Amino acid sequence: MKKVTDVRVILFWKTALITLGSLAILTCFIRISDFVSGYVLDMVGPAMGYILLRVQYTSKQSTFLSFKFTPGLTALLMYLICFLIETSQYFNLYDAYFDPWDYLAYISILIPCYLIDRYISKHKS
């Protein structure tokens, strides 16, 4: 199997980030269904956060937190952030609508991000 180069990995994550950002912006202008308006942003936000944290880790310089964002740590950190946000909605800590299906939306995008990242990290030169 051919090794994946750093340039291709960076291009992949940049393309994913641009695609996710565009999808998030489109949901503001185009209302296709309740699913798109309700859950796409819940999926896009954590995915973009995951990618941005991993980009911080993959730079050659040390991170501002001085530890590495491994794929597992990044996925766990993003899910904990999403879990705290959604749970605080349940307890009415701020004015927002609690939806238990949001937990599933977070997992449904963070797991593929994690698996793709593990695959790329394993096959990177």
In DSSP notation, 20-46 reads HHHHHHHHHH----HHIIIIIHHHHHH
Give the integer Cα–Cα distance in Å for 125 and 123: 6
**pLDDT at residue 80 in the model:** 96
Whole-model pTM: value is: 0.81
**pLDDT at residue 98 in the model:** 92
Each domain of the chain, given as residue ranges in start order, spans 6-123
Residues in the chain with pLDDT values less than 50? 1
pLDDT in tens, 3-16: 557 788 888 889 99
**pLDDT at residue 57 in the model:** 63
